[in-house]
Structure 1
Amino acid sequence: MNFNQVTIKDIARELGISPSTVSRALKDHPDISPETKRLVNELAEKLNYQPNVVALSLRSSKTNTIGVIIPEIVHFFFSTIISGIEDVAYSAGYNIIITQSNESLAREKSDLKALFNSRVDGMLMSISRETVDFEHIENILSKGMPIVFFDRIYDTPGSSKVIVDDKVGAKEATLHLIEQGCKRIAHLEGPPNLHISKQRLEGYREALSEAGLPFDESLVALCPKGTTEEGKLATEKLLSLKTKPDAIFASNDPAAMGAMQAIRQAGLKIPKDIAIVGFSNWQLSSLMEPPLSSVDQPGYEMGQEAARILIRHIELKSKKKPEPAPEVKLLKTRLIVRESSVKK
């Protein structure tokens, strides 16, 4: 017998009883004797019997499964989000299926379709950096699938979302550099189509304005992939300007780490010549030389909040209650000041 495909009929055949008796015994039906229940449950455990989730869902219209779409599993920030999602979901009796778009729109579309066809009760989603068209998401939303967006959001008024205050975080980081005496602060900008990139650029500009410093487009370098290599190349171009920047605020930590490489290779010192602040507080940030200042995002809390909101939507839907109003949860960031940005 193939134990990976054990069915109620297999258990019934082994015990010489009817499949309906096995089914009722597994459900602890009062009409079934304690001895029969004991025999059925012991054999089911021995054979590693698992209920057919698809068959059950067809009857109940609920699978107690949540789908998760993230850009990258290896990304430190997203891994902390997954931990938050799992803790809340499992405590509430839900399993999760995790997919990664790998920053590909095609993969994102495929993942969305696969999760929908797997009959998940709802989805948690952070869009890829390639996503500029949202027809595939609208198509799933139109079918009544609850989706809660987190971090990288599809900014539609009809869906719930959990985000950090990117604008305030970026503004705080830039003001910190200004307080250190920096006047030519460059910005390594993330993918321009993402809401988070727009908010971080806006926070940077707002800080400059409040301090009476001009916004100089030549000091904004695009890093659409946000990689270390991209940050290094962008910083090399900034260092070739007639008047070099005296500080850099990067939209993420890998880009900031690339900037540090370029500055050192140019024979300049951090933070004496150029101060640096990143965003996301990666686990390696504190291990850099010098340690990298960064804006910390509460990833674990973001995962928890997103899961809680989605489960509320799912439970109300399963009870045929009115659809809840969309929620927007805004989480605070925290600037972690380390040696890379403090001018002595």
Structure 2
Amino acid sequence: SLRKQKTNTIGVIVHELNSNFITSVLAGIEKITTEAGYDLIIAHSSESFEKEAANALNLFHKRVDGLIASLAFDTKGLDHFRAFEEKGIPIIFFDRVEEKSDCTKVIIDNYKCGYQATQHLISQGCRKIVMVTASLKRNVYAQRHKGYMDALFDNNIPFRKDLVLIKDLSEQCGVEAAMQIMKMKPLPDGAFITNDFSAAVCMQTLKDHGIIIPDDIAVVGFNNDTISKIIEPQLTTIHYPGIDMGEIAARNLINHLNGYANIKQTSTIVVKSDLIIRKSSLRNNSNSKNRYPA
């Protein structure tokens, strides 16, 4: 039987809390849910499938009216959300989603972003491009990686597995990546690091060892976090529209709750992202415009 009594609460499960991107998504969600008179219960999985499943169960027992979620690194399948489906409680997934599922998803075109970032480095004369990314099991990283590989292929640059460093995208990861890059002979001339914080730490470590950015290595990050404007040189990055993503996810969920949208009609919503070009990657002194809409 469908639950009839509303609690006017919406559950949100995120994979971390210490990222600018997640903070902006939460701000977007909160703006819309507050306007619609809902309270939020926020849980975070710390990148653990077990914790995510426990969060889901906990929010189910707290009788939330709907759920918005972004999946942990190692989440496989969506069985732990089945209780919600059976009770007709709508779920919207954002950013990290299960691609094969037929739930409503709010994403950016990660493939296009990976392609653009790599193509930009190639346009700056880079030929040996390192990619630092997280687990390729997760859709966002797998898609960025595919974009990177295809851009190399389209430019007749052979793909080299040894140039792809799989990390957890933490602060330590930026230091480790820099150390690994410096051991590569000859030194790579480009790096696409799929998180601005890791990219900034990596750049700083390379600079501390006398490597000049962008002359020796051109660097592109991902997310357009505040740090990308503070680090010297400023970091070329992909603007990731967190607030928009949060607002769209919340609006869709509330439409379901208000009966404007049938929970069975699901869709994939792609939010616009941009490549923002700054000094960390410009080697040709070409006066390229500093934004390519994705």
Gaps of 5+ in 1: 1-57
CA 140–323 in structure 1, closer or farther in 2 if over 3 Å, else same? closer
Q: 2:132 — aligned with what? A: 188
Report the equivalent of 1:270: 213
Q: What residue in structure 2 maps to residue 66 of structure 1?
A: 10
Residue number in structure 1 paired with 2:102: 158
The aligned counterpart of 1:112 is 56
Larger radius of gyration: 1
Which residue matches 2:141?
197
Q: What's 2:90 paired with?
A: 146
Structure with more of its chain in helix, by fraction: 1
Check conservation: 1:228, 1:256, Cα contact below 8 A: no
Structure 1 partner of 2:229 = 286
CA RMSD in angstroms comes to 1.8
Rounded Cα–Cα distance in structure 2 between residues aligned with 1:243 and 1:115: 52
Inter-partner Cα distance in structure 2 for 1:202 and 1:297:
18
Seen in structure 2, the aligned counterparts of structure 1 residues 275 and 64 have a Cα distance that, compared at 3 Å, is same
Distance in 2 (CA, whole Å) between partners of 1:105 and 1:157 is: 17
Quote the Cα distance in structure 1 between the aligned partners of 2:27 and 2:118.
Answer: 30
Report the CA distance between 1:338 and its aligned residue: 1.1
TM-score with structure 2 setting the length: 0.90
Residue 259 of structure 2, aligned match among 312, 316, 321? 316
Deviation at 1:139, TM superposition (A): 4.3
Match of 1:331 among 244, 256, 271: 271
| Structure 1 length-normalised TM | 0.78
How far off is 1:313 after superposition? Answer: 1.6
Q: What does residue 296 of structure 1 align with? A: 239
Q: Distance in 1 between matches of 2:275 and 2:15?
A: 24
Q: What is the CA–CA distance in structure 2 between the aligned matches of 1:133 and 1:313, rounded to whole Å? A: 23
The letter of the residue matching 1:255 is S
SS in 2 for 1:204: helix
Query: Which secondary structure does the structure 1 equivalent of 2:259 belong to?
Result: helix
Q: Indicate which of 53, 59, 76 corresponds to 1:132.
A: 76
CA gap 1:237/1:81 in 2 versus in 1, 3 angstroms: same
SS in 2 for 1:110: helix
Give the superposition deviation at 1:66: 0.8
Query: Could you tell me which residue of structure 1 aligns to residue 186 of structure 2?
Result: 243
> Across the two proteins, how many residue pairs are aligned to each other?
282
Structure number with the bigger relative contact order (C-alpha 8 A, sep ≥ 6) is 2
- Structure 2: gaps (5+ residues): 286-294
- Per-residue CA deviation, residues 24-51 of structure 1 (Å, 9 max, x unaligned), is xxxxxxxxxxxxxxxxxxxxxxxxxxxx
